[in-house]
A and B are shown apart, each in its own frame.
Chain A
């Protein structure tokens, strides 16, 4: 009853194809929906092997029609087919002659083709012989190797030049660095010596336990005033400026 198998696989249908498909789908959908409803309750052998039930769905554009399971291979011949004698095909003589002729032609063509292929194979055997191929590979390798060596030499020259340049630059840099370092050391030494000289000079005026009495006496006699001021004209005033000094007590009294 459902021995027909439909496959509907058109991925990019055009306008006319679409129309045809839609029409076809509508037809199949109606038919199959009925069939599905009929079949679902009938047999597990049938329903268990539904490939896809998309035909019952609304979008059935890329659907496949239900495919029925055939007899499993391990089941014996059906009882109804057990004693069936297949009918021998009766081919008319004209048809048979024609088929024979076509077959002869086909066989001739195939034989010649086979022979031709064998001939090519033999040729190739000679052409792609192991020793020949090996020799060719060796020659190719030598050629490539020669080119590679040439490139290597070129690059080696460039590298040699670059390294030489870098070395000279480094040497020059080192020379400058050493020179600067020596200069810096000399400068530092000079600075230190200068400081030592100045400290030695200052040391003469240092106050120690011997001359402390004298220093205290001197300090008591001289009062130092660090107060100083400068105006916008750049005039410098030393000492406390007593005119502007506000007597807080007097001011308070005045306020009272």
Chain B
């Protein structure tokens, strides 16, 4: 009888947890326009950037400007926006003043670097002072370059160099302090996190045996967020019910936490300089998109309390964690619940 009661309690808990949707959710910002998938949040400027013709208010989700941008990535806190391959500068990295672009007072870049080619740029602050900072910009071609940045000017301070030479990597993402890099190792077919030195050489920190979406580091380097796909059955069938949910890994101790579950797709997480995490959500029935603002500390605590976490997860544990069957982790003894 006692076992039956305990089973029923755990079953009910699992249902409640599944219904909860997103751990640590602070607010939902409905988007006025159907977005492209990469969102980049600048919490200083209170903007959400994405490709297209809509610069979005982080407060309202509405378009503040209809300026056309493509793959914009802000240098948060400095008022700059990087755009690769900008019109008329094939293959170059272009630097715009965010406010100029938004108000359309100046739609041409203030500075164009024809030396730094490639897309999928990400940015790390090698030092971040109030007046002047040093930032490193990397692109997926495997190149990086350093710049001195103030609110008024941007100046290259290094030549273009390659990083992680010899590694066939995809989806590289630089940490916000410019000291770590994550990506997909094509040859080994593993997701990796490496330390990146001043000269661009990389030293593997750890790997995990599962392909995930593009990762993003928090500003304090403690967390790394990503999405992963699964189908609802988690088994071979002709019915595809693709779900994408977000996960967070503690970079230091390699604990992985499931942050979202349920019927919505939650994907493309990105950290703000304010310590909060942001992610895109798609209601698959109404086809409405929102940006979610998430308290990362609450989210990981709630995930942990619900048993939605594993430490140095094996491939099987990742599969269980990524599964959309909410009760899997509750029932599967193989998953180590982090204490």
A binds B: no
Contacts from A to B (Cβ < 8 Å): none
